[in-house]
Amino acid sequence: MSLPLSDYEKRKQISVRGLAGVENVSDLKKNFNRHLHFTLVKDRNVATPRDYYFALAHTVRDHLVGRWIRTQQYYYEKDPKRIYYLSLEFYMGRTLQNTMVNLGLQNACDEATYQLGLDMEELQEIEEDAGLGNGGLGRLAAGSLDSWVTFPGLPLLSLCCEQGLERAHAASEATGPFCGWDCTGLEWVGECPILTCPSFLQFFEGKELRLKQEYFTVAATLQDIIRRFKSSKFGSRDPVRTSFDAFPDKVAIQLNDTHPSLAIPELMRVLVDIEKLDWDKAWDITVRTCAYTNHTVLPEALERWPVHLLETLLPRHLEIIYEINQRFLDVINAMFPGDFDRLRRMSLVEESGIKRINMAHLCIVGSHAINGVARIHSDIIKKSVFKDFYELEPQKFQNKTNGITPRRWLVLCNPGLAEVIAERIGDEYISDLDHLKKLLAYVDDEGFIRDVAKIKQENKLKFAAYLEKEYKVKINPNSLFDVQVKRIHEYKRQLLNCLHVITLYNRIKKDPNQHFVPRTVMIGGKAAPGYHIAKMIIKLVTAIGDVINNDPIIGDRLKMIFLENYRVSLAEKVIPAADLSEQISTAGTEASGTGNMKFMLNGALTIGTMDGANVEMAEEAGEENLFIFGMRVEDVEEMDRKGYCAKDYYDRIPELRQVIDQLSSGFFSPKQPQLFKDIVNMLMNNDRFKVFADYEAYIKCQENVSALYKNTKEWTKKVIKNIATSGKFSSDRTIAQYAREIWGVEPTHHKIPAKGMQGVNFPLPSPHNMLFI
C-alpha cells in the first residue's frame, strides 16, 4: 500500500483563495532569515529547531502587526461599540498553523521552509498547546475568536498572553482595585491599587485563589471598559462628570458561563461607589449591558460561592449582591404575595446548609439576555432549571446553538478532505459552511465516494503510525476507529462505552472462530482533580486495555486505548481519523457539545442519544444517517418519577451481569481485586445517569454500526450526507446570531486596502469592536 500524502503535499493542492492574498515565497524567506539573525541573534550554524520555530512565528506575526495597529487607529477615530466576551477559559491549542491558514499563508510558508531545508510539520510540533482551558467551554470561546475575525466587520481586541495559565503579559501597566487587599494580599484596606497582572495572584491557593482569579479578570476588564468609555466622545461630553447614559449603547458584556459573574456587582460598585450614580440608574445600565450564556443543566455544576468566603475577600460586593437580591425578592413578593417557596427558589442567597450565593441566579437577574447553547438545552433551562425566572421574564431567554470553526476543524486538520470538497464545490465553504449542502449532489457519485473513503483511510494510517510511535501499541488501520474524546464525567457515560467493550471481548472469547468486525476503541479526556469516580473511570479504561490488548486470542480484532493528555493538537489528529463518534450522554444532561460537530464535519458517523446538539444534527442529516439509541428526555423524566433500579437490569440481562461480575471480581485488576468496587457500587446503587437502562439499546445499535461498516460504499454515502449537512454547526453562524440578537450589532464582510502594504487586504471595521477577556 502506498503511503498517504503528507499534509504539506495536500496543502499544496488545496485552494484557499477566499481567505487572503498570497505572500511571495522569496519575501517570506528573507523575513525568516532576518528574524533568525536580528531577533533571535542566531545563524544556521548554531540555530536549533526551536529557534527556527520562533523565526517562523515572528515572520507570520509580522503580517498581523500592521493590521492590528491600523484597526486600533480606526477604532480611535470612529469610536465603535465594543463587545467584551468574558471567559475564564480560552482553549486555543496551537496558534501558528491556524494563523497561517487564516491569513492564507500556509502554502507559501510550506514552500519557503521547504526551500530553506526545514520540515514544516516538525516545526509545528514544537509549539505547545496553550494552557488556557481544559474543556468544551474553553474550546467554544477559542472557536468564537476564529469566527470573530472571519467577519471583518466584527474585529476584535484580545488579551495578550504568554505561557498559557503560567504567565500573562499585560498590554499596559494600568492599576485597579483588587478585592480591597493591600499589595501583599494579607490585609483588607478598603481599596488598593495593584498592577493588573495575574502574577499578583500566585501566592493564593484553592478556592480562594479561584475566587480571586475570577474577580481579577472582571475587575481588570471593567477598569479598561470604563477607561475606554470615558475617553470616547460619548463618555466625555460633560467636562466635569462622565455621563453613562450611552454606556449600554457603546458597551456589551457577554458572560461565558458563571465564572465572570462578578462583573455584575463589580460594575455596580464602580457606578455607585466611584461614579456616584444612584442605584436605579446604575442597575438599569448594568442589566442593559450584560448578557449571560449558560452551559450546563446539572445543578451541582452551577457555581455557588460560600458567603463566608465572600465576606472575607469581597465584603462590598457581598453587600451589593444582598441589595440586588432584596430588591429582586421585593418584586417577586409583590407579584406572588405569600409564595415563600418561590422566594426561596429564586433567591440569590441559598440558606440551607452552608450559606451560599447562587451565581447563575445573579447572572439571570443582572442580564438582559440569557441563552442556552442547543435548542434542547435552552428548552430544558426554561422548563426546569430556571423555570421560575423564565415565567417571570420570558423575553430574556434565547437559544444560540454552539458551532465550530471550519478553518481549524477542516482546512487545518484535514487538508485532504478539504481538498476533495473544494474540487467539487469550490472553496467558498471555508467562510460560509452552508455551501457544503452542494455536496448532496455527490452522494451517489462513485468518484467522490472513493475519494472520501481514501482520505479517511489515509488519516487512519497516519494516526495508527502516531499511536505506534507514542503509545507503543500497534493497531489494525482497517479496523473501525471508535472514538470518545471529551471530559471524563459520569453523565458523559464513558462507562457505557466500557461495558460495550467488555461485552465484545466476552463474545470473542466465547466464540473465537466467529467473524467480528475489527474495532479499535479510543477514549480520551481529563478528569477534575477532586473527582474520584472520573479518575477511576480512567483507571478502568487502561485496565481493560491491558487485558484486551495483550490477549493473543483477541489479536487485532479489538483494541482499547486511553489517549493520554488529550488536548487540541491531539484532537486535530484523532478526529479526522475517526469512523465512529461516541456521543452517548444521558438524554437531558449534555448542554450541546462541540466535539460531535467536529466529528460530523470530518466524516465520522455518530452513535448517540437524543441529547445536546445531537438532536439538531439528526434533524439536519436525517436520523437515519446517525445511530440514535436509548431513552429520550421524556423517558428519563418518566423513569425519575417511577424510580430507576439498576438491579432489575443486572438480573434480567445475562451479558450485563457477566460484565459487572468481572469488574467486581477483579478480572481486570487481578493484583487489586477491589479496585473498581466504587464504580460497581455507583452503577448498582447510585447511578443518576442510568447506564444500565440504555445498555441493551446501545449494544443493539453498536451491532448495526458493525453491520453497516462492512459495506464501505453505503457507510461512505452516510458520511457524505453528514458532511453535507454540517453547515449549521459553524461558529460563524453562532457569532452572527449573538451579534444581531443579543449585542445589537450587524456583522459585515467589507474590506479596504491597507496603506503601505502591497497585496494585503485589511478588514474594514464596522462600528462594532469585540474584546475577548
pLDDT digits over 656-696, tens only? 999 999 999 999 999 999 999 999 999 999 999 999 999 99
Q: SS in 3 state form for 421-472?
A: HHHHHCCHHHCCHHHHHHHHHHCCCHHHHHHHHHHHHHHHHHHHHHHHHHHC
Structure confidence at residue 238 (pLDDT): 57
Confidence check: pLDDT of 249 > 80: yes
List the catalytic residues: 295, 486-487, 492, 594, 598
Structure confidence at residue 159 (pLDDT): 52
Confidence check: pLDDT of 188 > 90: no
Share of the chain above pLDDT 90, in %: 75
Confidence check: pLDDT of 152 > 80: no
CA-nearest of 411, 335, 374, 472 to 598 is: 411
Element (H, E) at 737: helix 731-738
pLDDT-based confidence at 70, cuts 50/70/90? Answer: confident
Structure confidence at residue 2 (pLDDT): 42
Position with higher pLDDT, 123 vs 751:
123
Confidence check: pLDDT of 353 > 50: yes
Mean pLDDT score, 278-295: 98
- Residue 322: exposure state from Cβ atoms within 10 A (0-12, 13-18, ≥19): middle
Q: Indicate the range of 34-48, 182-196, 402-416 predicted with least confidence.
A: 182-196
Structure confidence at residue 241 (pLDDT): 66
Query: Cell triple for residue 531?
Result: 473527582
Confidence check: pLDDT of 42 > 80: yes
Structure confidence at residue 68 (pLDDT): 81
Q: What are phi and psi of 332, to 5 degrees?
A: -60, -45
Position with higher pLDDT, 474 vs 162:
474
Structure confidence at residue 136 (pLDDT): 83
Q: What are phi and psi of 188, to 5 degrees?
A: -80, 125
Element (H, E) at 608: strand 605-608
Confidence check: pLDDT of 165 > 90: no
Match 493528555 to its residue by C-alpha cell.
565
Mean pLDDT score, 166-188: 40
Q: DSSP code of 48?
A: -
Mean pLDDT score, 196-208: 61
Structure confidence at residue 175 (pLDDT): 44
Give the span between the Cα atoms of 757 and 444, in whole angstroms: 47
* Cβ atoms of residues 297 and 589 within 8 Å: yes
Confidence check: pLDDT of 214 > 70: yes
**Structural domains in the chain, sorted by start:** 15-78+95-128 (no CATH), 473-731 (3.40.50.2000)
Structure confidence at residue 232 (pLDDT): 80
Mean pLDDT score, 6-33: 63
Match 516545526 to its residue by C-alpha cell.
123
pLDDT-based confidence at 322, cuts 50/70/90? Answer: very high
What average pLDDT does the chain have? 88
pLDDT digits over 75-104, tens only? 788 888 889 999 998 889 999 999 999 888
Confidence check: pLDDT of 253 > 80: yes
Q: How far is CA 495 from CA 485, 489, 581, 614, in A?
A: 13, 9, 15, 19
Confidence check: pLDDT of 123 > 70: yes
Confidence check: pLDDT of 765 > 70: no
Confidence check: pLDDT of 178 > 70: no
pLDDT digits over 540-563, tens only? 999 999 999 999 999 999 999 999
Q: SS in 3 state form for 277-304?
A: CCHHHHHHHHHHHEEEECCCCCHHHCCE
Confidence check: pLDDT of 451 > 80: yes
Confidence check: pLDDT of 766 > 70: no
pLDDT-based confidence at 772, cuts 50/70/90? Answer: very low
Q: DSSP code of 514?
A: S
Structure confidence at residue 747 (pLDDT): 82
Element (H, E) at 607: strand 605-608
Share of the chain above pLDDT 70, in %: 86
Confidence check: pLDDT of 463 > 60: yes
Does the predicted TM-score (pTM) go above 0.85?
A: yes
Confidence check: pLDDT of 40 > 70: yes
Q: How far apart are the first and last CA of the chain?
A: 49
Structure confidence at residue 587 (pLDDT): 97
Q: What are phi and psi of 399, to 5 degrees?
A: -120, 140
Mean pLDDT score, 384-389: 96
Q: What are phi and psi of 167, to 5 degrees?
A: -155, 135
Query: Cell triple for residue 570?
Result: 491531539
pLDDT digits over 486-520, tens only? 999 999 999 999 999 999 999 999 999 999 999 99
Give the span between the Cα atoms of 613 and 610, in whole angstroms: 8
pLDDT-based confidence at 240, cuts 50/70/90? Answer: low
Mean pLDDT score, 396-402: 97
pLDDT digits over 400-449, tens only? 999 999 999 999 999 999 999 999 999 999 999 999 999 999 999 999 99
Match 503579559 to its residue by C-alpha cell.
169
pLDDT-based confidence at 757, cuts 50/70/90? Answer: very low
pLDDT-based confidence at 397, cuts 50/70/90? Answer: very high
